[in-house]
Amino acid sequence: MNIDSVILLFLVTIFPLLIFPVKYQSRLYGYIFAAQNPVAWDTFLVVKVWALLFLVIFMGIRMLSCHIMHGKNIAAHSRNESSFFLGKSVPGIMCGEHVLAAVLHVLAAGLAVLLIFSTLFSVDAKLSLLGADEQFEPLVVLLCYMAVAVYAGWTRRQMDDKWLFDLLSAGVAVILIVSGIAGAIQRVGFGDEAYLTLYNSNYAGMFLAMLLPLCYLGAFNRRSILRGVGAACGVIALICTGAKAAMAVAVIVFVVSVCCLAARRGIRIWACVVLTVMIAVLTVLIFAASGQGRERTAASVSNVETMSDGICFTREGEKLLISFEMIDEEHYEFLLKDGDGNPVAYEKNDEGTRFVPSDERFAPYEFTIADYGDYYGFIVYVDGREWYLAKGSDGEFYYVNGYTGLDKFVMARSIGFDGWESFATNRGYIWSRSLPLLFGDVMSEDAVSEIAVSEGVVSESAVSEDTVTEHAMIWRAFIGYGPDTFAAVFPQNDVAKYLYTDLPYKMIITKPHNMYLQLGCQCGIPALLIFLAIVLLKIAGSVRTRFQTWKQFLNQRRNEYANQEKNMEQECSGLDSAILLCVISFLLMGMFYDSSVCVTPVFCLLLGLLRGKGLIRTDKDN
């Protein structure tokens, strides 16, 4: 086992397990929607960021030392054989593999430039350079992802495919066994969704579903008990996480894995494709029927406005304006008006703890005084939800967020999912409010300039006027808002979050729960398109190779083919098929989950290892 094998094995097995409590200065301190505590703690992410940085530095030293010691011209090697950046390229596409390799290099360089450019014009340089709370994917981490793919492509050409397949599948089996034990302990001991050492259950599910194909095909190809046990433990851990999208993808990928093995044994590809599609449709239907597409409740508050003279609730077409005045520490009064400006009387409820309007139109409403520590306000109860409200020192009315900050409600612009905000565990709401950010279409200055709060008192804006002006410019669609700035630009004070979802009152939306929206909003649409181009070119090459192999197997005389190519097919195609399925699994889950420093480095490693060079020699090759 050489040093490159150790590095690959470390990234797949040890890196995800790293945890260590780290105290740091909160990156979101000063934003009104966040906790006003300058000190924060992290156990799962920061240590992985530092480990990734040191690992990438070591990778660079390793490649440079090989170049110096052995006199290898890496650039020439790349031009002569394949794409250095992302492994071997696809012959026959775009006028040959040399052209495709050059295109991949240009795309990778362009993506790096766009990431740097987005950081330079970030709405919050601190977030883009140091990383945001609960995410920690600043510019340097994004560049490290690319460096891991570079190193993986370079390493793939130095290692034997059979050895690499055994190494990766055995390593993955070990990490899945550990995950299965940890997941069962967490689920039984804490009675909640298992998160392993990957910060939350979504990332844990994403990691497990991505690596399971290596165990599937490793167990089938090698008839290994270790890999079989690893696959079983991985499935147990995945169930313990409760990550539904990851489980759905794992089912689909398992069927595809079975179809790959069936195709190699002579079953027609079209039958495998039909079976895969049927399983995929069935999985999606089960997923949709499990309560993931809840429609908006009809009888509920449709709008809440924080106005200068009170808080206006709109429910079933009827408006109720609630105003509050604190006379002294023991005396206060409420003033209620309907939509026509007519006074509405109120009285205490039967328990004597809350006030209720006397008008039958507003029977569901209850309200009472609230002590927020430094000031008094009031709470309105309606349709099972509590609204924390107050009158500021400036005489204006505000809502009180979960961290005692006073803010104004806005009705943020949205695209799609109207009435289906709760789709896929409230992702419908998050996506509908993220799409305008993707296209640089921001609601208003008030919606994007977050107000800093000091000891519960409204102070000056934490975002400069120049930054606010930049938010409203369409060119944000091209450069994004900057790496790791999603929490700063998402409309945290959008009233629809409290109206149409069951998100907790203190919930801060720090990520769009969609990897593609995440990249597009933060780094711009061109960066997203370049990323997709690189990934699709790699996948297209690998898929082309797999279909070439299967077609050759089906069309040639099978005995002759088996005698001539059996060893090559088992040692190479099994590895590449497994890696391809791992990459596709991650990309499918990216529709529901975000990129994370816990998982994405392993994906970049697999993407770099993905090879598209044909295994079947053609007349041209001969």
CA distance 400 to 377: 9
- Confidence band (pLDDT; 50, 70, 90) for 72? very low
**Of 127, 35, 138, 145, which is closest to residue 85 (Cα–Cα)?**
145
Asked whether 578 and 214 are in contact (CB, 8 A), the reply is yes
Residue 142's SS3 state is helix
Question: Does 194 have pLDDT greater than 70?
Answer: yes
Query: What's the pLDDT at 285?
Result: 60
Which of 292, 141, 127 minimizes the C-alpha distance to 596?
141
List pLDDT tens digits, range 231-264. Answer: 999 999 999 998 988 998 888 888 877 776 666 6
C-alpha Rg value of the chain to the nearest Å: 28
- Alpha carbon of 12 to those of 166, 190, 199, 594: distances in Å? 13, 27, 17, 19
pLDDT score, position 542: 77
DSSP-assigned beta bridge partners for residue 391: 397
Rounded-to-integer distance, Cα 404 and Cα 401, Å: 6
Q: Kindly tell me the sign of the dihedral angle through the C-alpha atoms of 31, 36, 39, 44.
A: negative
pLDDT attached to residue 92: 40
Range in 62-66, 320-324, 377-381, 559-563 the model is least confident about: 559-563
pLDDT for 260 equals: 67
Which phi and psi (to 5°) does residue 596 adopt? -145, 145
Residue pointed to by tokens 């259950």 = 201
CB of 492 closer than 8 Å to CB of 505: no
How many angstroms separate the CA atoms of 618 and 552, rounded?
Answer: 11
> Above 70 in pLDDT, residue 283?
no
Q: How much of the chain exceeds pLDDT 90, in percent? A: 47
Element at 23 (helix H, strand E) = strand 22-25
Backbone angles phi, psi at 300, to 5 degrees: -150, 170
Rounded Cα distance between 505 and 386, Å, is: 9
Give tens-digit pLDDT for 89-100.
433 433 445 666
More confident residue, 457 or 433: 433
Q: Measuring CA to CA, how many Å separate 128 from each of 132, 192, 390, 445?
A: 8, 33, 34, 21
**DSSP 8-state secondary structure symbol assigned to residue 263:** H
What is residue 451's predicted lDDT score, i.e. its pLDDT?
Answer: 31
Query: What are residue 34's phi and psi, to 5 degrees?
Result: -105, 165
Tell me the mean pLDDT in the region 135-141: 96
Q: How far apart are the first and last CA of the chain?
A: 33
String of b and e for 525-556 (b: at least 16 CB within 10 Å)?
bbbbebbeebbebbbebbbbbbebbbebbeee
CA distances from 573 to 162, 538, 544, 618 (A): 10, 15, 12, 17
Write out the E strands in 243-375: 293-294, 301-307, 310-315, 318-326, 332-338, 346-348, 355-357, 366-371
Among 280, 243, 300, smallest CA distance to 421 is for 300
Give the model's confidence band at 439: pLDDT under 50 very low, under 70 low, under 90 confident, else very high. Answer: confident
| φ, ψ of residue 281 in degrees (nearest 5) | -65, -45
d(CA 256, CA 248): 13
403 C-beta neighbours (distance < 10 Å), count = 16
Mean residue pLDDT of the chain comes to 81
Specify the 3-state DSSP secondary structure of 117: helix
Cα gap 259→250, rounded to integer Å = 14
**Structure tokens given for 550:** 């299967």
The pLDDT, as a whole number, for residue 471 is 45
The more confidently predicted of residues 612 and 185 is 185
**Closest Cα to residue 295, out of 439, 418, 149, 200?**
418
Contact 582, 600 (CB under 8 A): no
What crossing angle do the helices spanning 161-190 and 225-241 adopt, rounded to 10°?
Answer: 40
Residue 518 CB partners (closer than 8 Å, separation 6+): 486, 511, 512, 594, 595
- pLDDT for res 276: 64
More confident residue, 363 or 83: 363
**Residue of 117 and 190 predicted with greater confidence:** 117
Pick 530 or 297 by higher pLDDT. 530
Residue among 165, 211, 229 at smallest CA distance from 5: 165
Model pLDDT for residues 359-406, shown as the tens digit of each residue: 999 999 999 999 888 888 999 999 888 999 999 888 899 999 878 789
User: Using one digit for the tens of pLDDT, what is the confidence trace for 344-372?
Assistant: 999 998 888 899 999 999 999 999 999 88
The residue-averaged pLDDT of 505-518 equals 92
Tokens 């950046």 found at: 85
Residue 296 has pLDDT above 50, yes or no: yes
Question: What pLDDT, on the 0 to 100 scale, is given for residue 288?
Answer: 55
Upper half-sphere CA count for residue 342 (Cβ side, 13 Å): 6
Please check whether residue 79 is in contact with residue 101, taking contact to mean a CB–CB distance below 8 angstroms: yes
Residue 337 tokens read as 């008006």
pLDDT value at 544 more than 90: no
Mean pLDDT of 489-502: 89
